[in-house]
A and B are shown apart, each in its own frame.
Chain A
Amino acid sequence: MKDKLKIIWNGIVPSNPVLILAIGLCSVVAVTNFVKNALLMSFAFSFVLILSEVIVSSIRKWIPDEIRVPIFVVVIATFTTIAALLSHAYFPSVYDAIKLYILLVVVNCIIIGRAEAFAYKNGVFDSLLDGIGMSLGYSWVIITIAIIRELFGNGTIANIRVMPHIYQPALIMVLPPAGFLVLGVLVGWLEWSLKRKKEAKK
């Protein structure tokens, strides 16, 4: 039981796909200007990652070794198409804003990387757990960045006003460059806190 939980935890902090491994960054910077964009992106990402890990690990014994990457790509592309069509049907206005990034989930390095490094070598249930952990790790990072940016840039969180009306929004935070700035500060902060923990253990 404990090592199952460990698989999930592994994706959330110790090898967090965004902060530690620094892969799959395109969508992280681009969609985090509003919380609703980040929520739709996390939905699409988790949907594709979890389902394609499950499928890849369940067919892993029949996949010939030489052409495994094209097969992963076809599986991932199928689920990306489903996710894109679903988001188009149910959240049309948000989908129009971040359409490109949802389509590009198909080449997200995290998903191909997990299919290759984990799902191809482990059983179906473990892959499911790994998918859940990695999706949670991705989602909490992008939703945190989105909350910070929307709060300072617009004075709201998910369109609910939190800052008093007297607050002058810093427009820069919802514009593209702030994605890089917030991510940079977050990575620096994480490194600092990890290092402090290590020193406390000594």
Chain B
Amino acid sequence: MSYLTDLLKIFIASMVVNNIILMQFLGLCSYIGLTDNMSASIGMGYAVTFVTVLAAAVTWIIDHWILIPFNLQPFLEIVSFILVIGSLVSLVEIYLKKMSPNLYKAMGIYLPLIATNCLILGVTFVISMHKLDFIQALVEAIGTALGYFMAMLILAGIRERLRDSELPEFFQGKAIAYIVSGIAALAFMGFQGMIK
């Protein structure tokens, strides 16, 4: 039972308390770049969720079955993780193209963007830094990805409204997106201290 509450804690912590975008600032390129379009943010959200969970599972196995037993972790971790994630993303892309064209149409164009998204790699590093076990790693990955999805939806919604409002000329576009996300991050700080 306490294991289950642990999992719940990890889920909430990774999704809201340490929200990957608003509190840890990973994956900002796609966050600022794609959120002026609602449907693009949704597609990217699905693609990120899918790849993050897959990547977390695969890199956990590599970390615990290959790197740690052979004492390679300190200097091979970065290289092996980035290569595995890169090739994983291309494999998924090829597979989706062949097996389910509909799904590919929905999130295919975002997949190449993900290969070098710091969010995916960041989650795998966090997992290896906190020494989570396999189930916890998966839960952390799902929570983080949902947190990303949520932040994307929040900013995309706000930016849609901003388009109709009168802003000072120089703050239109990116500048106001930064400031809005600053305020959103301020709101998210309210969750701090929820999990000890």
Which residues on A are within 8 Å of B, measured CB to CB?
22-27, 29-30, 69-70, 73-74, 77-78, 80-81, 84-85, 99-100, 103-104, 106-109, 112, 172, 175-181, 183-185, 187-189, 191-192, 195
- What 0/1 pattern do residues 8 to 39 of B give for CB contact below 8 A with A? 00000000000000111111110011000000
Which chain B residues in 142-196 approach chain A with CB under 8 Å?
168, 170-171, 174-179, 181-183, 185-186, 189
A22 CB contact (under 8 Å) in B26, B118, B174: B174
* Neighbouring B residues of A74 by C-beta, 8 Å: 79, 83
- Please tell me if the beta carbons of B129 and A100 are within 8 angstroms of each other in the complex: yes
Can you report 28 A-B residue pairs in the complex whose CB atoms are below 8 A from each other? A22-B29, A22-B32, A24-B29, A26-B25, A26-B29, A26-B118, A27-B25, A73-B83, A74-B83, A80-B78, A85-B75, A100-B122, A100-B126, A104-B118, A104-B125, A106-B121, A172-B186, A175-B189, A176-B189, A177-B186, A178-B182, A181-B182, A181-B183, A184-B171, A185-B179, A188-B171, A189-B170, A195-B170
Which residues on B are within 8 Å of A, measured CB to CB?
22-29, 32-33, 74-76, 78-79, 82-83, 86-87, 116-118, 121-122, 125-126, 129, 168, 170-171, 174-179, 181-183, 185-186, 189
CA distance A180 to B121 in the complex (A): 22
- Please tell me if the beta carbons of A183 and B178 are within 8 angstroms of each other in the complex: yes
- Please tell me if the beta carbons of A188 and B126 are within 8 angstroms of each other in the complex: no
CA distance A187 to B173 in the complex (A): 10
CA distance A80 to B170 in the complex (A): 36
Query: Smallest distance from the beta carbon of B32 to chain A beta carbons, Å?
Result: 6
Q: Which residue of B lies closest to A194 (CB)?
A: B170
Q: Which residue of B lies closest to A76 (CB)?
A: B82
CA distance A195 to B24 in the complex (A): 33
- Please tell me if the beta carbons of A187 and B185 are within 8 angstroms of each other in the complex: no
- Please tell me if the beta carbons of A187 and B174 are within 8 angstroms of each other in the complex: yes
- Please tell me if the beta carbons of A29 and B25 are within 8 angstroms of each other in the complex: yes
- Please tell me if the beta carbons of B186 and A184 are within 8 angstroms of each other in the complex: no
- Please tell me if the beta carbons of B82 and A73 are within 8 angstroms of each other in the complex: yes
- Please tell me if the beta carbons of B116 and A109 are within 8 angstroms of each other in the complex: yes
CA distance A144 to B75 in the complex (A): 32
CA distance A22 to B76 in the complex (A): 30
* Neighbouring A residues of B189 by C-beta, 8 Å: 175-177
Q: Which residue of A lies closest to B167 (CB)?
A: A188
* Neighbouring B residues of A22 by C-beta, 8 Å: 29, 32-33, 174
- Most A CB contacts (10 A, CB to CB) among B23, B116, B118, B168 go to B118
Query: Smallest distance from the beta carbon of B129 to chain A beta carbons, Å?
Result: 7
* Neighbouring B residues of A23 by C-beta, 8 Å: 29
CA distance A80 to B118 in the complex (A): 14
- Please tell me if the beta carbons of A177 and B28 are within 8 angstroms of each other in the complex: no
Query: Smallest distance from the beta carbon of B170 to chain A beta carbons, Å?
Result: 4
- Please tell me if the beta carbons of B79 and A78 are within 8 angstroms of each other in the complex: yes
- The 4 lowest CB-CB distance pairs between A and B, nearest first, are A184-B178, A180-B182, A177-B185, A184-B179
